[in-house]
Amino acid sequence: MRPVRAHPLRRFILRRLALGVLTLFLVSVLVFAATEALPGNAARAVLGRNATPAALASLETKLHLDRPVWVQYELWLGGVLSGRPGRSLVNGEKVLAQVAPRIRNSAVLLTLAGLFGVPLALLAGIVAATRRDGAFDASVSTIALALAALPEFVVGIFLVILLATTVIHWLPPVSLVPPGTSVLARPRILVLPVLTLMLVIFPYIFRMMRGSMAEILESDYIEMARLKGLGQRRLVMLHALPNAIAPVIQVIALTFAYLAGGVVLVEYVFAYPGIGQGLVEAIFARDIPVIQFDVVVLAGFYVSLNIVADLLAVLATPRLRTAG
């Protein structure tokens, strides 16, 4: 990369990073406010029906819940900035110790879904584009449209019925993982959630790849190459693909950003011990430090993937690359 270009690009990255940090801050404020707006608090959640006024007051003092909202937020923010996201209000465990394994589990899920799902969707898109309106194209396009219309959990439940509980009984319908052990120790439990996520990301990547490839295949330079007698495979993979993939890469990044939310639902269906399930639980317990941490991690993931997507778009498009 020549130094002339580095400057605008670096400015671009820095600006996006600054905006990203600002976004995270706003998200944390909003989520904090939203949690405060919920009825009840962690002390009440912990004590349940046994919340006598005395017990409630003593626990609220212990958890600092009796202080003004902004002081609570300040306490939290100060902790996070100094690298100590605090302890769970509900069970006193360190937030980091509680959330880290869940983040790892979710990361495994997303990585596997990407590793298998992305190439599959890309390949299907390329094949469909080269045989446009053929049987493969027609059927896969229809399936992709249907999948795009279905929410994640419907896909998940459908797979459970099909592969786990009713039609055939091959796979465990829920992903039970003993705490402290890795999800990778029992690969079977990963199959259904990963498959669900693969199907969820498939339509977007497939349709983008197909559309982009079809457009390129109709362009003049491909026509020329074809007239020159280039083989179909060589034509597609070497000449068309590099140009067709640029917009798709951005879609891939955005799809994964979207999955930061989708993973919550999928984990919920399969009782998969990931960050999404942890977040749902923390919300019911009004466990603010855990909620905040989970949300910031998920939002951070979303923001960074968006930056990556934009960056890739810039790098892949010469006009944007030089404009700064």
Partner 1 sequence: MSKRVINENSVYANNSTGPEISRRHLLRTAAVGSVGLAATALASPVADAAPAPKRGGNLRLGMTGGSSSDTIAADNTVTQLDTPRIMMLFEPLVSVDRDGVVGNILAESLEPDKTAREWTIRLKKDVVFHNGKKLTAADVAFTFRHIADPKNPLPGATALLPIDLANMKVLDDLTLRVPMKIPYADFPGGMSAPEYFGIVPVGYDPKNPVGTGPFRYKSFTPGQQSVFLRNDNYWRHGLPYLDEVTAIDFATEAAAFNALQGGEIDVFSQAPLSLLSQIQPGGPIKAMLSKPGQWVPFTMRVDRPPFNDPNVRLALKLLVDRPQMLDVSLNGHGMIGNDVFSPWDRGFDKSLVRARDVAHAKHLLRKAGKEDLKIELVTSHIAQGAVRAAQVLAEQAKAAGVHIRLRKVTTDVMYGPNYLKWDFSQDWWNYKPYLAQVAMELLKTSPFNETHWNDAAYTKLYMQAQATLDAAKRYEIMHEMQKIDFETGGLIIPSFNDQVDLMRGTVHGFKPSRTGYSLGNFMFAEAWMS
Using the contact rule CB under 8 A, the part of the chain among 1-9, 154-162, 221-229, 235-243 near partner 1 is 154-162
Verify binding: residue 33, partner 1, rule CB under 8 A.
no
Using the contact rule CB under 8 A, the part of the chain among 110-118, 217-225, 245-253, 285-293 near partner 1 is 285-293
Verify binding: residue 191, partner 1, rule CB under 8 A.
no
Determine which residue in the list 79, 281, 312, 317 makes contact with partner 1, applying CB under 8 A.
281
Min dist. Cβ of residue 283 to partner 1 (A): 6
Question: Binding string, 122-151, against partner 1, x = CB under 8 A?
Answer: -----------------------------x
Min dist. Cβ of residue 45 to partner 1 (A): 6
Using the contact rule CB under 8 A, the part of the chain among 49-57, 65-73, 77-85, 235-243 near partner 1 is 49-57
Q: Which residues contact 51 (CB under 8 A, 6 or more apart)?
A: 43, 44
Determine which residue in the list 9, 45, 230, 312 makes contact with partner 1, applying CB under 8 A.
45
Min dist. Cβ of residue 278 to partner 1 (A): 8
Determine which residue in the list 157, 191, 225, 246 makes contact with partner 1, applying CB under 8 A.
157
Determine which residue in the list 61, 139, 142, 166 makes contact with partner 1, applying CB under 8 A.
166
